[in-house]
Amino acid sequence: MKRAASKNWIYLLVTFFVAFSVTLVTAKFIRSLFIIQDQENAPLEESNLAPEPVAELPATSNFINLQPIIDDWITTVPGQAGVMIYDLDHDQIAASYNPDQVFGAASIYKMFFVYDGYQQIDAGLDQGAKPFVTTSDKGPLTLSACLDLMVRESYNGCADPMRADSTRYARVESLINTLGLTNTTSAGLYSTPADLTALYRHYWAHSELSDDSWSKIQDSMLHQPETTYDWRQGLPAGFRIAEVYDKVGWSWNERSWDIYDDAAFVVFPELNRHYIVVIMTSGLPTYQPLVDLGALLESAVLSGGTGSQN
């Protein structure tokens, strides 16, 4: 009888320990589930898992009225001039002078044909890699090479046959009409500061161009080498901080500049400011007034300008 009681006691003891162990394991399992759930719902703390901070450009500051700069500058210009400065960030004119006066555009007309050429390539209606022209100084050139050279070096070896192509010429005239450039004629050979500004606004939006084409155009306008000529001797030379994406057009008569024009995108990366600056002139003895204007504009933008307003 004592042996039976002893066995029962051992059996109860073993059962108690088994039950206790099962309860303990179950409790730990349930507790771990709650901990995992809490960790999933808890906000991230600063740790190695936190995302890296993203560098952001500064918010664009107030609109700068640049009209006083132009009003003062124009009194120093010895010839005829027309100017338009357009603030792309605020979508409004920052300054103007004779914006609708017609001037000779000289080689700036090439920007109409360049836009058309890239548009045709991006629409799949032309191929950049196809041969376009063979010139005596550069040899065989593709269409893409010509579109680059027409901006980078204002190369007439590509521009002349492109302008002589009646189909391309007609498309450029259609582009001019579509943009409503009523003071632009001869496929861009004559134009106004206001009309060229409208063309550049169309470039800036580049809704008909691929990002790749827009990047190529910007590179052609920014990196222009000194060849026989210095393509950046005018407006771009007045800037030291800003990036100036420029196309120049000129005509020299051995005594003065019958035409000296610059049409540019002027970008201040650290300030997140973007402008179109178009200057068209005639009868200047030197291009120095354009250099001076570039310096004045940069100083005004960097200092916040005069007559700032919201």
Higher pLDDT, 4 or 274: 274
Judge whether residue 206 has pLDDT over 50: yes
User: Mean pLDDT, to the nearest integer, of 182-202?
Assistant: 98
Higher pLDDT, 25 or 108: 108
- Read off the pLDDT of residues 107-140 as tens digits, 9 standing for 90 and up: 999 999 999 999 999 999 999 999 999 999 999 9
Cβ distance 236 to 264 under 8 Å? yes
Q: What homologous superfamily is domain 67-302 in, according to CATH?
A: DD-peptidase/beta-lactamase superfamily (3.40.710.10)
Higher pLDDT, 224 or 18: 224
Judge whether residue 21 has pLDDT over 90: no
- Read off the pLDDT of residues 71-118 as tens digits, 9 standing for 90 and up: 999 999 999 999 999 999 999 999 999 999 999 999 999 999 999 999
Judge whether residue 6 has pLDDT over 90: no
Question: What residue has token string 């040899």?
Answer: 139
Higher pLDDT, 58 or 102: 102
User: Mean pLDDT, to the nearest integer, of 218-242?
Assistant: 96
- Radius of gyration (Cα) for the chain, nearest Å? 34
Cβ distance 98 to 197 under 8 Å? no
- At 305, is the pLDDT very low, low, confident or very high (cuts 50, 70, 90)? confident
- At 205, is the pLDDT very low, low, confident or very high (cuts 50, 70, 90)? very high
Share of the chain above pLDDT 70, in %: 79
- Rounded to 5°, the CA angle 69-72-76 comes to 125
Long-range pairs for 171-174: beta carbons < 8 A, 24 or more residues apart: 171/116, 171/120, 172/112, 172/113, 172/116
Question: In the chain, what is the straight-line distance between the N-terminal and C-terminal CA atoms, in Å?
Answer: 104
User: Mean pLDDT, to the nearest integer, of 240-269?
Assistant: 97
The pTM assigned to this predicted structure is 0.80
State residue 29's pLDDT score: 44
- Read off the pLDDT of residues 30-52 as tens digits, 9 standing for 90 and up: 444 444 444 444 443 433 444 44
Judge whether residue 309 has pLDDT over 50: no
Judge whether residue 20 has pLDDT over 90: no
Share of the chain above pLDDT 90, in %: 78
Question: What residue has token string 């991230």?
Answer: 44
- At 14, is the pLDDT very low, low, confident or very high (cuts 50, 70, 90)? very low
State residue 60's pLDDT score: 59
